[in-house]
Amino acid sequence: MASAIVLSAGIEFLPAQGAQYYPGKNFMAPEYYPASNGIRRLKNVIAGSEYHFMTNGTIWLLNPRLTNFAQDGKVEWTVVSPECTYNINTREVYGNTNMTFRTADEILFLSGVGFLWQQSNAMLILSNQSYTWIDKRALTTNASRYK
């Protein structure tokens, strides 16, 4: 009897046939802040338009988007890239292609080639050819927000 098991990302495999993983669309791996008053709030989301398993714990993502949220639910920043890999076990996203980082208020913009996002400690590392743009006018206008 072959029964399908569905994971949170919508990934299916059939245990009766061994560990066969099928490609899919609309991958999403959310992480939440600790619940308070029974309310779960998103901390960050790793999403991709398409995915397929490379190994048992590593997933290749097409058009990934990493989104980080503040505890009040507002988007803080996003990272986009043409492709990357996501290691479910270490909760790391690794890309060796172009990436762009942008804060929600668009005060800070970074781009580079190659990156590592460590979901466990919220660290983003850019590898090569990085470029940073800071909107100084907006930064001085919004200075009171960053005190």
Domain harbouring 40, CATH code: 2.60.450.10
Kindly indicate the confidence band of residue 144, based on its pLDDT and cuts at 50, 70 and 90. low
* Residue whose C-alpha is closest to residue 60's, from 100, 101, 99, 94: 94
Q: Which domain holds residue 21?
A: 5-146
* DSSP string computed for 94-106: EEEEEEEEEETTS
Tally Cβ neighbours within 10 Å of residue 1: 4
CA atoms of 11 and 23, how far apart (whole Å): 8
Number of structural domains in the chain: 1
Tell me what the mean pLDDT of segment 15-41 comes to.
78
Quick count: other Cβ atoms within 10 Å of Cβ 48? 25
Model pLDDT, residue 8: 39
pLDDT digits (tens, 9 = 90+) for 52-101: 999 889 999 999 999 999 999 999 999 999 999 999 999 999 999 999 99
Contact 67, 101 (CB under 8 A): no
pLDDT at 19 over 60: no
Contact status, residue 112 vs residue 93, Cβ threshold 8 Å:
no
pLDDT 10s digits, 115-133: 999 988 888 888 888 888 8
Residue 5 has pLDDT above 60, yes or no: no
Assigned token pair, 31: 């992480």
